[in-house]
A and B are shown apart, each in its own frame.
Chain A
Amino acid sequence: MPTGKVVNILLQLNQIHKVFNEGTPDEKTALHRIDLHLKPGDFMTVIGSNGAGKSTLMNMISGKLIPDIGEVLVDGTDVTLVKEHKRSRLIGRVFQDPMAGTAPSMTIEENLAIAYSRTMARGLRKGVSKKRRDFFQEKLEMLHLGLENRLSAKVGLLSGGERQALSLLMATFTEPKILLLDEHTAALDPARAELITSLTKEIVETYKLTTLMVTHNMQQALDLGNRLIMMDKGQIIFETNEDQKKDLTVEKLLEEFQKIRGEKMSSDKAVLI
């Protein structure tokens, strides 16, 4: 571990440890001394069964939760104690629930304006100016959903897939340092999930975003990104680098999982596929 500022690591988790309900019968170690390093442009997929600690890990990075031990560094700066809303200047997020990432009673352009002003101090500037509207229109075309012609439609009128596509665009078009995707296709039907997956790929490549994606879908975890980790019981139990990932298949992953946690295999298989 080199000391001082590490420039070529964008996201760094050092010894992150989190215990829920400490000292009660419900005590649960959600994360067990996790170390994780992402280089600029890395796209890491995270798989694991329910309760493995994937969401807790995401919440540590976004700032929703603060670790008991350990530190979170973004671009060399310690942000462990920086509040969620301040940290979100650097971090874009898309949630599992398509309703969570947008404001339903506001229009598409107003939602985009909110996302647009993420990186700046909000003032009394007009939210949707002519210049911004043109910019939004251009960005919406990336989604191929025709939303660029419905700028003043209320977001609550959009379908789940459209809302999630909009959420994805809103989380990314200001080019955050880190993008967190928390099972963002899990609540969609297969066709919509496929659409969001390909959009994710396109957008991440366009902006070269450093991305961490949690998914329950092993095939998706293999198709996307250059790195993969598997979590179980609050620990990273399996990790691949770029070259290994290319040769991975769902079968090999399951085999790997069986080797490490053989006894749990039968019950977890259903959850993992």
Chain B
Amino acid sequence: MPTAIFGSIEAGAIYALMALGVYLSFRILDFPDLTVDGSFVTGASVAAVMIVGGYNPFLATMTALLAGFAAGCLTGLLHTKGKINALLSGILMMIALYSINLRIMGKSNVPLLSEETAITKLTAFWQGLGIDQAIQSLFGALGMGFIPKTWGILILMLILAFAAKVLIDLFLKTDIGLAIRATGDNETMIRSFSADTDILKIAGLGISNALVAFSGALVAQYNGFSDVGMGIGMIIIGLASVIIGEAIFGAKTIVRATLAVIGGAILYRIIVTLALRVEFLETGDMKLITAVIVIGALILPKLIQQQKEKQRKRRRLAEAKKTNAYGKSGEHLAAIKSDS
């Protein structure tokens, strides 16, 4: 059990990069971008093919990031210059990328298990630092029996996710970043302040999908393969992370929201891991579980809000009745009822 949870936190930190990308398109640009299902795999396949081809895995990962950027820009072009509906332009790119991903890999699956990847290199680097032993002995001293293979991936991936978060936070506070946020918030307004909303949307979607592809490239190296089907439902996983994160950690400011997205991505992995331990659920049920989580995360906060509202009203009505025990002020009650 601890090993499974540990693994889900590790994976969650890598998937957090993808969730940050989805946050950029979905929340900042207000653009439901389905390109993600395709660009995630594009990142994975570019990295996998380059690694198998003998390139440095870090270079391969960076190239994957650029490929994702290009894919996102194309979706933006379809939407802004081609005047195609936002959802549709994402779906079109997603379908197109499926074939492109197959072309990149040349087959539907590229194994990486025997290759030297960014993950294996980072693990080796970490183990060279000798921090694992220190943590292990600390854990041993505390009497905890759980010993993972290495802490390196977890810690390095968390650092990476937080670095991405901080960069996004800073970027969204620059002149361009502010303009991108305003594009998602009020297009009429930002256009009257000399911003080209087409370019901003294209750039925003590019950055979003660059993060998604980056995440895809790392997931492929973490899992040891790239598969053409590994992106199916990725947008929903991203959304689940964003929504769960915001519901639990809050989203008042950008800094808070991006932190929430990382938390949401990790929590999502833990929830799925736990759900899969339920007897009658199988690995194939994962997409269904994801859908149920997202539906729950979308509906529950509203239900809770309604319930709170009702309780508040009931309390205020009761208080009002008490103060007007002899029932002379009906007007007062009416005012409270209509005040919601």
**Stretch binding the partner chain, chosen from A33-41, A44-52, A94-102, A211-219:** A94-102
Q: Mark B149-189, 1 if CB is under 8 A from A, else 0.
A: 00000000000000000000001011111110110011011
Pairwise interchain contact A105-B185, C-beta atoms closer than 8 A? yes
The answer, yes or no, to whether A70 is at the interface (CB within 8 Å) is no
| Residues on the A chain within 8 Å of B188, using CB | 95, 100
Report how many residues on chain A are interfacial, defined by Cβ distance under 8 Å: 36
Complex CA distance for A127 and B194, rounded to whole angstroms? 15
Pairwise interchain contact B175-A124, C-beta atoms closer than 8 A? yes
| Residues on the B chain within 8 Å of A84, using CB | 191
| A-B contact list, 5 entries, CB within 8 Å | A103-B181, A106-B182, A117-B179, A125-B175, A127-B175
Interface centre among A62, A101, A171 (most CB of B within 10 A): A101
The answer, yes or no, to whether A118 is at the interface (CB within 8 Å) is yes
Q: Known contacts A85-B197, A114-B179, A114-B182; decide if A103 and B174 are in contact (CB<8 Å).
A: no
The answer, among B171, B190, B196, B197, for a CB contact under 8 Å with A114, is: B190
| Residues on the B chain within 8 Å of A106, using CB | 178, 181-182, 185
The answer, among B176, B189, B196, for a CB contact under 8 Å with A103, is: B189
Q: Known contacts A85-B196, A118-B194; decide if A126 and B185 are in contact (CB<8 Å).
A: no
Q: Mark B80-113, 1 if CB is under 8 A from A, else 0.
A: 0000000000000000000000000000000000
Complex CA distance for A89 and B191, rounded to whole angstroms? 10
Pairwise interchain contact A128-B181, C-beta atoms closer than 8 A? no
User: Which residues 105-133 of A sit at the B interface, judged by CB distance below 8 A?
Assistant: 105-106, 110-111, 113-115, 117-120, 122-128
| Residues on the B chain within 8 Å of A115, using CB | 193
The answer, yes or no, to whether B192 is at the interface (CB within 8 Å) is yes
Chain B nearest CB: distance from A169 CB in Å? 13
Pairwise interchain contact B192-A93, C-beta atoms closer than 8 A? yes
| Residues on the B chain within 8 Å of A127, using CB | 173-175, 177-178
Q: How large is the interface on B (under 10, 10 to 19, 20 to 34, 35 or more residues)?
A: 20 to 34
The answer, yes or no, to whether B230 is at the interface (CB within 8 Å) is no
Pairwise interchain contact A122-B185, C-beta atoms closer than 8 A? no
The answer, yes or no, to whether A150 is at the interface (CB within 8 Å) is no
Q: Known contacts A100-B186, A124-B176, A125-B175; decide if A88 and B181 are in contact (CB<8 Å).
A: no
Pairwise interchain contact A88-B194, C-beta atoms closer than 8 A? yes
Pairwise interchain contact A85-B194, C-beta atoms closer than 8 A? yes
| Residues on the A chain within 8 Å of B190, using CB | 103, 114
What 3 A-B pairs come out closest when comparing CB atoms?
A: A122-B175, A103-B185, A127-B178
Chain A nearest CB: distance from B312 CB in Å? 21
Q: Known contacts A95-B188, A104-B186, A106-B182; decide if A125 and B193 are in contact (CB<8 Å).
A: no
User: Which residues 65-90 of A sit at the B interface, judged by CB distance below 8 A?
Assistant: 83-86, 88-89
The answer, among B175, B186, B192, for a CB contact under 8 Å with A123, is: B175
Q: Which residues of A contact B (CB under 8 A)?
A: 62, 83-86, 88-89, 92-93, 95, 99-106, 110-111, 113-115, 117-120, 122-128, 170-171
User: Which residues 296-317 of B sit at the A interface, judged by CB distance below 8 A?
Assistant: none
Pairwise interchain contact B194-A119, C-beta atoms closer than 8 A? yes
Pairwise interchain contact B186-A102, C-beta atoms closer than 8 A? yes
| Residues on the A chain within 8 Å of B181, using CB | 103, 105-106, 110
Interface centre among B177, B178, B191, B193 (most CB of A within 10 A): B193
The answer, yes or no, to whether B195 is at the interface (CB within 8 Å) is yes
User: Which residues 117-159 of B sit at the A interface, judged by CB distance below 8 A?
Assistant: none
Pairwise interchain contact B178-A114, C-beta atoms closer than 8 A? yes
The answer, among A95, A99, A123, for a CB contact under 8 Å with B176, is: A123
Interface centre among B173, B189, B194 (most CB of A within 10 A): B194
Q: Known contacts A114-B179, A125-B175; decide if A85 and B185 are in contact (CB<8 Å).
A: no
Pairwise interchain contact A88-B193, C-beta atoms closer than 8 A? yes
Complex CA distance for A117 and B178, rounded to whole angstroms? 10
| Residues on the A chain within 8 Å of B182, using CB | 103, 106, 111, 114
Pairwise interchain contact B189-A102, C-beta atoms closer than 8 A? yes
| Residues on the A chain within 8 Å of B197, using CB | 85
Chain B residue nearest to A92 in the complex (CB): B192
| Residues on the A chain within 8 Å of B176, using CB | 122-124
| Residues on the B chain within 8 Å of A113, using CB | 175, 178
Pairwise interchain contact A122-B173, C-beta atoms closer than 8 A? no
Pairwise interchain contact B175-A117, C-beta atoms closer than 8 A? yes
| Residues on the A chain within 8 Å of B189, using CB | 100-103, 114
